[in-house]
Structure 1
Amino acid sequence: MPVVKDFFIALSNNKFMNESAKKMGPALGAKKVVAGVDIDSTIDTVERLNMRGISCTLDNLGEFVTTRHEALEAQQNIVEIMRRNYNANIDAHVSIKLTQLGINIDKEFAYKNTREILLKAHEYGNTFVNIDAEKYEDLVGITETLDRLKGEFKNVGTVIQAYLYDAMNIMNKYQDVRLRLVKGAYKEGPNVAFQTKEEIDSNYIKLIEHRLLTSNAFTSIATHDHNIINHVKQFVKDHHISNDQFEFQMLYGFRTDYAYELAGEGYNFTMYVPFGEDWFGYFMRRLAERPQNLNLILLDIFNKKNKEKIAVGAGIIGAASLLAIGASKLFKKN
């Protein structure tokens, strides 16, 4: 359903919609997939997941950072998250985005912000810091920053997106770096990325197998696809690959029972837990990945407990209603 996916991706990039959504707090179904707006509620969520044998990586959501002040504020928030995690003695690390730290303002400025986070991470139990993948236009800046940091720090890694044609070459460049392997959540053109699910899935499996066979660094396999997960389980068994070399990852709020099942089977498991006021762009990208989750919006819109939110955010609710109706029609056509 490429038209539906494009629709939600466009909404995720709409600054007005993002800013309007902040006034409401997680709504339109987003509260199912966003842990909360503050650190306290997020730590409570992590503690509950830890009790089920699940580690967490925390993403302080942030979109459209355009000033140095906003970037420095984001950096300080991330440092505070690490400090609170350390003091609470919970099993969690952080995932960061370089656009949030100012890479589109000034690359050197973003590098210094990221390095400061890593220096603080060393103080707080040598917390692992994962540099998230973003749009293809940001890839060079991300890899250049990582290349400068990985020689000084061992607690930093990044993400490889399987839909990119060059994913294998990028991955092989970081044999000694902890990596998260994903299919890819942004819309990229046919000049740089595979366009069909079959092509992306095939390349994803190739990346996973090659990585597990050739690298001693830890690998996170981030997917909700049970077919790929079952393939990995059989692959590591056939090739005598230790469970200590990899983990499965899933997004908070998706296939939770399956996550508990995998953790219960003894596999390392991490939940990607987003939180913060800037929830709208993240949620729209999740809908782009799986438009069937549109029912989360519909359930939230018609929940009686949300009357006050609807009154405060009438404009965005109206937009979401049109979104729901329009996307539902697109489902039928596609």
Structure 2
Amino acid sequence: MYRSKVQGGSVVLVETLSKNFFLYLSKNKVLNKSAKRWGLKLGAAQVVAGVSVASVVKVVKALNEKGLVCTVDHLGEFVLNREEAIESTNICIETLEAIATTGVNCNLSLKLTQLGLDIDRKLCVENILRILEVAKKNHNFIRIDMEDYAHYHQTLEIFRELRRKYNNVGTVIQAYLHCAQKDLESLKGIPLRLVKGAYKEAPEVAYQKKEQIDENYMKLIKQHLLTGSYTAIASHDHEIIAKVKRFCIEQQIPKSQFEFQMLYGFRTDMQERIAKEGYTMRVYVPFGNDWYGYFMRRLAERPQNVSFALKGFFSK
């Protein structure tokens, strides 16, 4: 209804302002602290699977029963002391043990900042090594999520160090970054999640126009697939998904070499349809009381998400 009233450039302007607004809110430490006291309100309960390990395992089990596999993420941002970093590490380990005990089809995603990257690099590395050892023992896989550009090079540097010893770890490449193709080439053969990118970055380091980002995204997907590398395509864009399907059929790339990924709570009908078509469909399931930054970035990505959140809030 709103789009019918605003045409052309005005729509783009409104969407840009909306995105910038929610990205700004996502970095507000005061609001983040307050959000922990609110609980999963403002619609967040629709996209965050509770605050405990038990709650997220319950959600994963239900998704598995629908033919969907998962990756879970214990949300954590603005980790500014050693105690919080160690606590986050322990929860990641607890999550891996719960996955192994219950037998759910699921792996683990995490951010290096929640393990102490902004406090002490050595501490962060020690924490991720603890997690990787537990994952290795339980035959599980760890995905290191990519964060904003300020942490980009550090994340890749640590990731490359980890890959020298562990093959059960992957990371993420963001298509909106100018350096994405170069870094993708250097990670040939490594399982990667490819995304468009969800942070607000400067024009000097990232494409700003949707058309450019989409074009680069498809280029990266094709490039990684053609090297024989396992590729996770994380997108809710049905056009992108259709293009990937056609490309893989044309190039005779087996379904076992790639998977689609979507966020918990979004486009659930499409998720189940993709799984029924015989593709691996992995759902990214976040949990924990530090949900605020994640939720704000989801609202920033698409204007439709705002009405989705409000609908959930007022239906309570």
Aligned to 1:327: none
**Equivalence map 1:7-46=2 (5 Å):** 7-46=21-60
- Structure 2: which amino acid aligns with 1:237? I
CA distance in 1, matches of 2:44, 2:211: 29
* CA deviation string 1:99-155 (max 9, x = no partner): 00111111121111111110111122x210000000001011101111111010010
Aligned to 2:222: 209
**Equivalence map 1:149-228=2 (5 Å):** 149-214=162-227, 216-228=228-240
SS at match of 2:236: coil
CA distance in 2, matches of 1:225, 1:98: 27
Contact 1:185 1:285 in 2 (8 A): yes
SS at match of 1:79: helix
CA distance in 2, matches of 1:157, 1:33: 24
Q: 2:140 aligns with which of 118, 122, 127?
A: 127
**Displacement after TM superposition at 1:80 (Å):** 0.2
SS at match of 2:49: coil
CA distance in 2, matches of 1:212, 1:133: 20
Contact 1:58 1:275 in 2 (8 A): yes
CA distance in 2, matches of 1:241, 1:280: 39
- Structure 2: which amino acid aligns with 1:99? T
TM-score (norm 2): 0.94
Aligned to 2:110: 96
CA distance in 1, matches of 2:43, 2:89: 28
SS at match of 2:115: coil
Aligned to 1:234: 246
Query: Unpaired segments of 5 or more residues in structure 2?
Result: 1-14
Contact 1:248 1:267 in 2 (8 A): yes
Contact 2:75 2:286 in 1 (8 A): yes
**Displacement after TM superposition at 1:217 (Å):** 2.9
Contact 1:58 1:93 in 2 (8 A): yes
SS at match of 2:172: strand
* CA deviation string 1:245-291 (max 9, x = no partner): 00000000000000000000000110000000011111000000012
For these two proteins, the number of residue pairs brought into alignment is 302
CA distance in 1, matches of 2:115, 2:236: 29
CA distance in 1, matches of 2:301, 2:308: 14
Contact 2:19 2:299 in 1 (8 A): yes
TM-score (norm 1): 0.89
SS at match of 1:16: helix
Kindly indicate whether residue 63 of structure 2 is the aligned counterpart of residue 63 of structure 1.
Answer: no
Kindly indicate whether residue 264 of structure 2 is the aligned counterpart of residue 264 of structure 1.
Answer: no
Of 43-52 and 241-250, more deviation after overlay is shown by 43-52
CA distance in 2, matches of 1:253, 1:24: 20
- Structure 2: which amino acid aligns with 1:193? A
**Displacement after TM superposition at 1:300 (Å):** 4.0
- Structure 2: which amino acid aligns with 1:180? R
- Structure 1: which amino acid aligns with 2:25? L
* CA deviation string 1:270-324 (max 9, x = no partner): 0000000011111000000012211233224434x4xxxxxxxxxxxxxxxxxxx
Aligned to 2:7: none
CA distance in 1, matches of 2:30, 2:170: 32
Identity over aligned residues, as a percent? 49
Contact 1:259 1:269 in 2 (8 A): yes
CA distance in 2, matches of 1:79, 1:72: 11
Contact 2:46 2:312 in 1 (8 A): no
Query: Unpaired segments of 5 or more residues in structure 1?
Result: 306-334
SS at match of 1:157: strand
Aligned to 1:253: 265
